[in-house]
Amino acid sequence: MPEQPPDPADPLAEREAAHGRPPRMQPRLRPRWAPTLGLTASVAALGIGLLAGWSLHLRMAQLIALLAGAECSVAASAPPAGQALSAAAAPGHDPCFRPPPGSTVTEPRDLRSRHGVLRLDLTIHNYREADGSVRYCYLLDDGTESPTLRLHPGDLLVLRLKDDLLDLPPIHPTSPQAMPMAQGGAMSMGQPAQLAQSAQSAQPVAVSLHLTPGHAPRDPCGGELMTPVSTNLHFHGLTVPARCHEDDVLMTSILPGEPPFEYRFHIPLNEPPGLYWYHPHIHGYDTPAVLGGASGALIVEGIERAVPMLAGLPERVLVIRDLDLLNPNAPPSKSEPVVPKLYIDRDGDAANNGTGFGTPAKDLSINFVPVPYPNYPPAIMRIRPGERELWRVVNASTVTYLNLALLYGRRFVPQRLGVVAIDGVPLHFGGSPAPPVEWVDHIGLPPGARAEFVISGPARGTPALLVTRTVDTGQGGENDPNRALASLIASADAPEPAARLAREVRPLPRPRLPWLGDVQPVRVRHLYFSEKLLNPKDPNSATVFYITVDGQTPRPFDPKNGPDIIATQGTVEDWIIENRSNELHAFHIHQLHFELVDWMGLPVHEPFLRDTVNVPYYNGHALSYPSVRLRMDFRDPNTIGTFVYHCHLMEHADGGMMGMIRVDPPPGRAAARAGDATPAGDATPAGDATPAGGAPPARETTRPVR
């Protein structure tokens, strides 16, 4: 693979070269960035063959023909975002507003901490649309949807979450969401007659809580009542303790009719500056809410301190979500040279057909602007010609893999993307020997992953598209074909992005701990993903999903079973995770980050951290199961407690592909708080008891001076 020299017109590349960091060769057998960015190591496994590229080329030609009139049509059809939100928030209107396809992409509203504290009230809603689909949304009191939360290390977050969910059973009793969970943990979602009546009337039936007079309010930290209308929050990627009112997802369950539930915690002082996100995490019911749009970005400020060459750049936050197909019965676009037969997997989604074409498993949206199958009308992004920006992208999809690329000009030339952070962690952070920037031409993101990268806008009049290329998810996986996401229109009067990085920066302090990759693990654990039919005699039976510690009996996740793994804080372990199924899985663990050290049994040099990684699928012919080896970092005291690891394809996690780990304090050393290592949070320090009604202890500490 040829070496990529620095772009002479690129100041970032010039400064990188000036620091003595020449561009590096990318080995053909073990390309550094393929596993890094969540995709398999070979081009063939990516599903980006010649035929797939040809399809993308043809479709881009069709889309570019539409770009000339796109700007005028969007201006005429899309209402201003503020007006739309205000109308949506009014009584009798859909609270979960979505702009029409082809609209201009607007950024989420920023909420910034002030004097070391960020306070907000957030309410989760849902609403049945005319087509029977159910949308979910997080709203502020003024109707603003899914704000981006911005805090600095040491800041205090006080978030009061109100549950206004309604019991909206699916209108199709045979849909995956209507089927009970394999482990029998799900409650009934409604009878066919009730479903038909609900679909016709479009009037949801609210679930209300009736508290018996004289009885204390239900404890939302008690771990009971995980239902379709329960909710909580997971702050994906943050190293925040797994305690109720902080980042616990095992015991925290909020219900409609209850008082707002208060999350209160400090961003750790050593939290890497970067992109994180929040979403509900009620086991068995994650998929409908996140698929419906319940997610938002969270940014720990200061990435320019880790990567000084970013100082002063404008930044864009892009949240890419998947959703059920808006046009499920439409034939594929005529621009596709291959029209594969449609297969449906056991999750009810379009199955991978191996061509890069055909019906996708899900539609995608970018900051809520849908890009629906089959023609994928791109959303509109306005940018100043040649302007350099930092893009911060969340893959908030439930099952869809992204393989992002920027294509400019009528020859659709892939652009160089300067990756500076993965999964919230700058590449050159915590003693890592990685360079601060890696230049690539595509970025793979499994569900849940994030990437932060520098782009240069197109010249005025140059066609430009943000696309996601096809991903081979395996014989049993979903279909993720080539498709456009957004067209970039360069003009001198394009509005500036909502945020800009600080121009004057102070370097981050030197790390106190050695680089994770230089620490020898105290033990090696073996885990594996696997699947089986609920009824092996019925090929159309539902699938049961497992992640199992080698030597234990596979079983779907049930928090009542207790921890599958017990580790000790202060240690480092290696986990070898195999995939014994025929579809791609994305491993994710709460509360910590890890380093990928082996891929398919081969050492890789990827000295940076992440919290989500792909595990390649088994093709049925290899002599051993595909695997990854991860160096797991339990050195942070905030990892003490009980939390989960799972596949981040939410249908799989809801179906049982989740495990539980308890991290104990070192022998002879007490936990930072007496309740840290208790799964149910039974013990709390004297004078720090949780008051009735679920409010956390009233303490507030000012952020240290930075």
Per-residue pLDDT tens over the stretch 339-384: 788 888 777 888 898 989 999 999 999 999 999 999 999 999 999 9
Question: Average pLDDT, stretch 422-439?
Answer: 97
How far is residue 308's CA from residue 573's CA, in Å, rounded to a whole number?
32
How far is residue 414's CA from residue 134's CA, in Å, rounded to a whole number?
37
pLDDT at 45 over 50: no
Q: How confident is the model at residue 530 (pLDDT cuts 50, 70, 90)?
A: very high
How far is residue 638's CA from residue 671's CA, in Å, rounded to a whole number?
10
> Can you say whether the dihedral through the CA atoms of 163, 168, 173, 175 is positive or negative?
negative
Per the CB < 8 A criterion, the answer to whether 633 and 516 are in contact is: yes
pLDDT at 335 over 50: yes
Q: Which residues contact 174 (CB under 8 A, 6 or more apart)?
A: none
Q: How confident is the model at residue 29 (pLDDT cuts 50, 70, 90)?
A: very low
Q: How confident is the model at residue 130 (pLDDT cuts 50, 70, 90)?
A: confident
pLDDT at 90 over 70: no
Question: Average pLDDT, stretch 6-18?
Answer: 40
Which has the minimum average pLDDT: 59-63, 350-354, 452-456, 654-658? 59-63
Tokens 């009112």 — which residue? 245
Per the CB < 8 A criterion, the answer to whether 505 and 478 are in contact is: no
Per-residue pLDDT tens over the stretch 378-396: 999 999 999 999 999 999 9
pLDDT at 199 over 50: no
Which has the minimum average pLDDT: 120-134, 332-346, 671-685? 671-685
Question: Average pLDDT, stretch 384-410?
Answer: 97
> Can you say whether the dihedral through the CA atoms of 82, 87, 90, 95 is positive or negative?
negative
Which has the minimum average pLDDT: 164-168, 420-424, 624-628, 700-704? 700-704
Residues of the chain with pLDDT > 90, as a percent, come to 66
How far is residue 64's CA from residue 180's CA, in Å, rounded to a whole number?
45
Q: How confident is the model at residue 171 (pLDDT cuts 50, 70, 90)?
A: low
Task: Give the per-residue pLDDT at 344.
Answer: 83
How far is residue 405's CA from residue 427's CA, in Å, rounded to a whole number?
20
pLDDT at 156 over 90: yes
> Can you name the residues that pair with 379 across neighbouring β-strands?
486
pLDDT at 494 over 70: yes
Per the CB < 8 A criterion, the answer to whether 397 and 447 are in contact is: yes
Task: Give the per-residue pLDDT at 563.
Answer: 97
Question: Average pLDDT, stretch 505-522?
Answer: 94
Per the CB < 8 A criterion, the answer to whether 421 and 237 are in contact is: no
How far is residue 525's CA from residue 86's CA, in Å, rounded to a whole number?
52
Task: Give the per-residue pLDDT at 4.
Answer: 39
Specify burial of residue 437 (Cβ count, 10 A radius: 0-12, 13-18, 19+). buried
Question: Average pLDDT, stretch 432-452?
Answer: 97
Question: Average pLDDT, stretch 298-324?
Answer: 97
Q: Which residues contact 138 (CB under 8 A, 6 or more apart)?
A: 122, 123, 124, 145, 146, 147, 294, 295, 296
Task: Give the per-residue pLDDT at 275.
Answer: 98
> Can you name the residues that pair with 510 across neighbouring β-strands?
none
Task: Give the per-residue pLDDT at 478.
Answer: 95
Per the CB < 8 A criterion, the answer to whether 179 and 544 are in contact is: no
Task: Give the per-residue pLDDT at 700.
Answer: 37
CA distances from 312 to 303, 453, 507 (A): 11, 14, 15
Question: Average pLDDT, stretch 658-678?
Answer: 72
Task: Give the per-residue pLDDT at 215.
Answer: 55
Q: Which residues contact 532 (CB under 8 A, 6 or more apart)?
A: 543, 544, 546, 554
Per the CB < 8 A criterion, the answer to whether 242 and 643 are in contact is: yes
Task: Give the per-residue pLDDT at 559.
Answer: 92
Per-residue pLDDT tens over the stretch 211-252: 444 556 789 998 777 899 999 999 999 999 999 999 999 999
Per-residue pLDDT tens over the stretch 626-640: 999 999 999 999 999
Residues of the chain with pLDDT > 70, as a percent, come to 75
Beta strands in 109-154 (DSSP E): 110-112, 117-128, 134-139, 148-151
pLDDT at 71 over 60: no
Mean of the per-residue pLDDT values of the chain: 81
Task: Give the per-residue pLDDT at 390.
Answer: 98
Task: Give the per-residue pLDDT at 346.
Answer: 74
* pTM confidence score: 0.83
Task: Give the per-residue pLDDT at 184.
Answer: 33
Nearest alpha-carbon partner for 111 in 164, 153, 157: 157
How far is residue 681's CA from residue 662's CA, in Å, rounded to a whole number?
12
374 cis-preceded (ω within 30 degrees of 0): yes
How far is residue 328's CA from residue 655's CA, in Å, rounded to a whole number?
24
Per the CB < 8 A criterion, the answer to whether 162 and 122 are in contact is: yes
Q: Which two tokens stand for residue 88?
A: 């949506």
Per-residue pLDDT tens over the stretch 257-268: 999 999 999 999
How far is residue 492's CA from residue 638's CA, in Å, rounded to a whole number?
47
Per the CB < 8 A criterion, the answer to whether 387 and 637 are in contact is: no
How far is residue 611's CA from residue 278's CA, in Å, rounded to a whole number?
14
Per-residue pLDDT tens over the stretch 689-698: 333 334 444 4
How far is residue 307's CA from residue 231's CA, in Å, rounded to a whole number?
37
Per the CB < 8 A criterion, the answer to whether 423 and 448 are in contact is: no
Task: Give the per-residue pLDDT at 537.
Answer: 85
Task: Give the per-residue pLDDT at 688.
Answer: 35
C-alpha Rg value of the chain to the nearest Å? 24
pLDDT at 206 over 80: no
pLDDT at 566 over 90: yes
**SS3 (DSSP) at 516:** helix
Q: What residue ranges define each of the domains in the chain, with the CATH number in brackets? A: 85-181+196-301 (2.60.40.420), 316-500 (2.60.40.420), 516-664 (2.60.40.420)
Task: Give the per-residue pLDDT at 178.
Answer: 35
pLDDT at 291 over 70: yes
Q: Which residues contact 306 (CB under 8 A, 6 or more apart)?
A: 272, 273, 421, 426, 428, 429, 436, 508
Q: Which two tokens stand for residue 155?
A: 């800041």
